[in-house]
A and B are shown apart, each in its own frame.
Chain A
């Protein structure tokens, strides 16, 4: 099949993010993923909440709905359940998804509705100009925490696991190729797919991901996980992950008698959450940051179960329309 043109997925609106914002790269990766998968533009609905990233639908040449703060998971749930043929994408940020919309976020994950949820995590409120968010690191000095925050941040992936999520992936905005590839994986997965994008806010949180993103060092500071492949990373592919008791540890291949065979093989389809959770929680500088599809477990999804239930009930019932319903049960005639 011929690939669709990326241009088809763009709207005629000028993209209005700050120069240097990580959102541009993500937008381009979404265009590319959709084009490469050749999804008809009319079959795509992009839904968002409020925040910088939530302007996203306006830049799409697809159907789009810009909702209200935090409620996009509910809106996109309604879109998908009402019209399950659509490819539904939900765009959200760390404040939108995890603060005001925290409740909707965990429930859309729990219900496992077939939506691709792209979570832009820049650890800051951008649109309201620089207040700390639920993912800001403890001690972060921001406009609303001049002396540093005194609260623990969420780790989005951990929340996904806690809400019994079936798909979680992590990417970084600077890597368009990785973003494109992972967005395609999210679209292919049936059920709710959360993709956390580590995204740079050039104005209010410039450089928070510089350490893991440093061009020279990033292959040592990130590990791109692939299903069924060994968890090996590093410039020279000489580092790997192993289990040490209940914890992960970084080892060097070729030292202390460790060979490639000792390195863990990534199994994204494993139902048990323990190792996925450990991978999600790896922190710099002790560990590389886990990228790619960390968890992708096949499971029945809500929208499909609803359709099946309707079909089952309709096959059995004698009530085929409203007139039938009105005349069902206890009815009498007055002559």
Chain B
């Protein structure tokens, strides 16, 4: 018999799970998002994990977090601050205290709150909540470890294995708190542990025990309900940025009728793209794990020369290593997609954290006049569309294209309405015709691309390479005037991509007092700040860029309409500098953050309001 419980309806909720790297926080975070999405809520997620695989247990450095925001309205960010924080030990509490809303709820595993762990987490006292000024929060101390052990005591499992299920006990509590069904997770256990029915059973038991425990205890006097979001009809799935990128590349190759070849080297946070594509032999993808970053891109260039769509994936340090080879693709004018999942730099920097600081490297990080197309994805799911776009531009314009995503997009996930492949335009490779005399550097009039002759085709034998070539014939040429002609043609070819991309559009008020300018992965935060400020009656607009080199044709017209422009980005002002260089007559304010973290909507609003108030 269940007690009568107040159920409060909420529009959106932010939950942050945190614990040791080995506590399974990413897993329960993903489980909760899947359940929420399946029952029709909009969800946005953000894993926040340390660079060390298993840092010493119980230390702040080893804390792994997973934040998710779900709601009955359109959710564009994983949320700034958490309504509910789950902390599996004192270190997790310490690492995440700053992210709990005032009046928020904190659920801790009280069994881990002991002297030993306080010391490991470097608490000065044995009063962690006091020390962190969290006393006004709703703190629920649950003996999660003990109750999990009790629940599974008859399963004949080792204590170590039993304790692995404490994350599921915790998830059970959260499911009760938000009135969610357990079915999605129970089905997941059954599938995942098909061959280990005991483990599946243990997880299910822990999950249910957590749920029942939450229902029983007085500490949780009420639970909450979040209604489904008004979502467009269709079939949906959850997708992360890296998977969306990998799939977008396959989609691009499929729409071009080309085989996809990935040459890559493992690097955080891009490795998932390599892993996903190595698993796609079903679709004929050839993914080559190379000996280093340079070999990764060089195999891709070789594959493109041989008639595949060559692709390489990496993160900032890898892009630096690939610079010379990108130049080779620029001069040989072959299709090539380079995915750069940006992370904090310089050097090894912050491997697991997000940043937008590779923009200048993508634009200019090569020797010589070496123009390439640079585009950026803006949400986890639109990584699919921009990966496809990168393929389209690379193939149809015969050029390397750098696709910038970032750690936030790569690891974040959201529900995604599944497109039909027929919704994506066909990509038409500019193949040379067999039977016609082939001139490797003869250009087509509209795009200025050269034609692509694939080895194996009789009569189209030709030689290309890193040395400057004579225009049209493609023989090696040191003629001074020819070098200038070719340099200009390569630049003009990339510029003309502007005729084949959408124009820049404006969100918000056409007559705004302030135009926010952003690019890439900050879209969700900037848009949410914009919407909330407009709800407050402010006149404000957002221009968010996906296409960076070349810029959309109407960029200057759009920017010049506004009195004030602020460029907000997660670096020290690289896009602002780029705009200053391109349109020096305009004035640009900047809002920059370089902490390895996404923006918060709160800080954005605060800053934009300040700008609006300044005369």
Contact = CB atoms under 8 A, between A and B. Distances in A.
A331 B418 contact: yes
Given A81-B303, A331-B236, A57 B247 contact: no
A332 B458 CA distance: 49
A76 B302 contact: yes
A60 interface: yes
Interface stretch (B213-221, B290-298, B559-567): B290-298
A43 B237 CA distance: 44
A327 B235 contact: yes
B230 to A, nearest CB: 10
A47 interface: yes
A83 B461 CA distance: 15
Contacts of A256: none
A74 B286 contact: no
Interface stretch (A173-181, A186-194, A311-319): A311-319
A40 B459 CA distance: 11
B455 A321 contact: no
Nearest to A46: B463
Interface string A302-335: 0000100110011001011111011101111111
A212 to B, nearest CB: 34
Interface in B221-261: 231-238, 247, 250-251, 254, 259, 261
Contacts of A82: 259, 261, 286, 302-304, 306-308, 310
A58 interface: yes
Contacts of A74: 263, 290-291, 294-296, 298-299, 302
Given A58-B463, A61-B461, A67-B328, A75 B299 contact: yes
B27 interface: no
Contact of A78 (B283, B300, B456): B300
B419 interface: yes
A326 B291 contact: no
A77 interface: yes
Interface residues of A, number: 60
B465 A78 contact: no
Nearest to A57: B463
B283 A321 contact: yes
A271 interface: no
In this complex, the member of B284, B301, B324, B458 whose beta carbon has the largest number of chain A beta carbons within 10 angstroms is: B301
A107 interface: yes
B465 A332 contact: no
A65 B299 contact: no
B475 A83 contact: no
Nearest to B232: A334
Contact of B456 (A86, A103, A322): A86
A281 interface: no
A63 interface: yes
A47 B418 CA distance: 42
B5 interface: no
B152 interface: no
Interface string A37-53: 00011111101101000
Contacts of B160: none
Contacts of B512: none
A66 interface: yes
A209 to B, nearest CB: 29
A104 B34 contact: no
Interface in B62-102: none
Interface in A200-215: none
A332 B38 contact: yes
Contact of A71 (B233, B295, B418, B461): B295
B456 A83 contact: yes
Interface in A55-113: 57-58, 60-68, 71, 73-83, 85-86, 103-104, 107
Given A42-B458, A43-B456, A334 B288 contact: no
B251 A322 contact: yes
Contacts of A73: 295
In this complex, the member of A71, A80, A320, A323 whose beta carbon has the largest number of chain B beta carbons within 10 angstroms is: A71
B462 A78 contact: no
A66 B465 contact: yes
B310 A78 contact: yes
A317 B460 CA distance: 37
B421 interface: yes
B237 A329 contact: yes
A309 B281 CA distance: 8
B325 interface: yes
B32 interface: no
A119 B461 CA distance: 24
Contacts of A40: 458
A13 interface: yes
A71 B325 contact: yes
A79 B303 CA distance: 5
B364 to A, nearest CB: 19
A313 B234 contact: no
B467 interface: yes
B291 A104 contact: yes
A259 interface: no
Interface string B417-452: 011110000000000000000000000000000000
Contacts of A335: 233
A67 B1 CA distance: 75
A42 B291 contact: no
Contact of B464 (A66, A81, A309): A66
A41 B461 contact: yes
Given A74-B302, A331-B237, A83 B455 contact: yes
B40 interface: yes
8 contacts: A58-B463, A63-B462, A74-B302, A78-B288, A83-B308, A103-B295, A104-B295, A325-B280
Interface of A: 11, 13, 40-45, 47-48, 50, 57-58, 60-68, 71, 73-83, 85-86, 103-104, 107, 306, 309-310, 313-314, 317, 319-323, 325-327, 329-335
Given A77-B295, A81-B303, A317-B282, 13 more contacts: A40-B458, A42-B455, A63-B455, A64-B462, A66-B463, A67-B328, A67-B466, A78-B263, A78-B301, A314-B284, A321-B283, A327-B235, A329-B237
Interface of B: 34, 37-38, 40, 231-238, 247, 250-251, 254, 259, 261, 263, 280-284, 286, 288, 290-292, 294-296, 298-308, 310, 324-325, 328, 332, 418-421, 454-467, 475-476
